[in-house]
Structure formats: C-alpha cells, structure tokens
C-alpha cells in the first residue's frame, strides 16, 4: 500500500516534466535552467543535432510513463486490496527517488536546445506503432492480473472479506506466478521500442526492471510453493517457459 506514494510522486513529477517538454517542443520555450544544468552534468551535448524523430519519441515515452503512473495510482486506490505488510524505509526512499529519476532519464534523451527555433517534426514511425501497441497490450494484462489478485480477497458483492494469500488463476497466472511483474517488464520494453530501439540508456533502465522484478517474482514464487502444497507445478516464477 505504500507504493501509492510512489505513484503520487510520479504522476506529479512526470506530469510537470511532460508539460515542460511539450511546451519546449511545440511552443519553442526553453527548458528550465536547472534541467539544462542537469544535462551538462550528465554530459549531454546541448547542441547535439536532431536525430530523426528523437524529440517526438522522447515526448511520447514520457507520456506513456505518466499514463502508466496514473493507472497504477488508480489501481492502488480503487482496485488492489493490500495486506498489513510494510516496506523497508530504505526501499521506500529508493522507490521515491526512482520515479523521479526515471522521468528525468527520458528528458535527458533530448538536447537542451530542443527546437532551436525550428518546428517539431512529428512523424509516426513503425517503432512508435509497435511500442504503443505493446504498451497497451501489456498494460491491459497487468490490470487484469491485479484485479484477479484483488478479487481473491473480496466476496462476490465486492466486499473485502480477507487479507490472506490465496492461489490466483486466470489470464497469465496460468503460466507464471507473477504475471503483473512480467507485464511491468514488457511495459518498459515497449518504451525502449518507442524510443527507437537504439537508446542504450533506456535499455539500462529495462535491465534494472528485469532484475528487480525477477527477484521479487522468485521470492513470491517460492512463497506460493512453500505455503500451498497443491500449487501448480508447471508455473514458472516470472517469464513463461523460463
């Protein structure tokens, strides 16, 4: 339930970044000076030339990241049923920092001069279509899986009747123990595709999400196997068939 705080911060922070980038791209305004300073500190060349559709791709990914945070916040508030478990203070602080850093990472893929007096060239490319399609597909499955988990603790009328753990069935749960973690990975992969596939920085973010979600999935998978003797043996922890 403390993850709700992460998504509140992400919606607010990444929403502000999205507005700044949108105004810079379409209205020709300059990015705030502190963002330009951050670019320089990270070694980003403020005068780097426009590489194809790089600016529009970054704007689209920042929008997808913000929409993802909005959906997850809504699910935390109105869909999920949380137990009384708590989060470690170090993990809590790291999570807050992560959602601030990840939006800033997208912004740093765009040169600080942005338009430089020129109109933004908005051209829909094949990787935008594939990335957004994959994003929608993974997001729908993640929502379905989170709803399945929530319904395990609710009666048929929708009233919360238990906070204990049960074995989930349906959708991607038939293949893996933690399909919502797998969907999270796919969402970040879809953003890497939307950025044009070649962006090494974002693939580093994807690798972080892979290891982070895989560790959580393995621990959850072991919990299911330990506490439920009839737990389906064919299920994998995180990625189908792996």
Q: Domain residue spans in the chain?
A: 1-123, 124-241
Q: How far is Cα 219 from Cα 31, in angstroms, rounded to an integer? A: 42
Spatial distance between the Cα atoms of 230 and 144, rounded to a whole number of angstroms: 24
Which of 100, 87, 188, 74 has the alpha carbon at shortest distance from 138? 188
pLDDT band for 119, please (50, 70, 90 cuts): low
Please tell me the pTM assigned to this model.
Answer: 0.93
Kindly tell me the burial class for residue 137, based on how many C-beta atoms sit within 10 Å of its own C-beta (0-12, 13-18, 19 or more).
middle
Burial of 230 (0-12, 13-18, 19+ CB in 10 A): exposed
135-164: pLDDT as tens digits: 999 999 999 999 999 999 999 888 999 999
Greatest mean pLDDT range, 20-24, 128-132, 198-202: 128-132
**Rounded-to-integer distance, Cα 149 and Cα 137, Å:** 19
């Amino acid at each position: 339930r403390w993850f709700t705080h992460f998504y509140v911060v992400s919606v607010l922070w990444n929403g502000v970044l999205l507005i700044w980038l949108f105004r810079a791209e379409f209205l020709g305004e300059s990015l705030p000076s502190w963002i330009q300073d951050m670019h320089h500190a990270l070694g980003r060349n403020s005068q780097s030339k426009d590489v194809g559709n790089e600016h529009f791709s970054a704007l689209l990914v920042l929008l997808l990241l913000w929409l993802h945070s909005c959906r997850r916040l809504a699910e935390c508030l109105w869909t999920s049923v949380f137990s009384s478990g708590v989060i470690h203070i170090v993990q809590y602080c790291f999570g807050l920092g992560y959602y601030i850093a990840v939006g800033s990472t997208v912004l740093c893929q765009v040169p600080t001069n942005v338009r430089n007096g020129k109109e933004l060239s908005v051209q829909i490319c094949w990787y935008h279509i594939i990335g957004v399609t994959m994003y929608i597909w993974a997001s729908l499955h993640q929502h379905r899986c989170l709803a399945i988990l929530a319904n395990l603790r609710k009666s048929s009328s929708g009233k919360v009747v238990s906070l204990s753990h049960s074995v989930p069935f349906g959708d991607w749960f038939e293949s893996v123990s933690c399909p919502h973690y797998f969907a999270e990975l796919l969402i970040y992969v879809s953003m890497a595709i939307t950025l044009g596939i070649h962006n090494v920085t974002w693939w580093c973010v994807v690798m972080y999400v892979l290891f982070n979600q895989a560790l959580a999935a393995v621990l959850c998978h072991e919990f299911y196997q330990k506490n439920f003797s009839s737990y389906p043996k064919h299920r994998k922890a995180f990625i189908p068939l792996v």
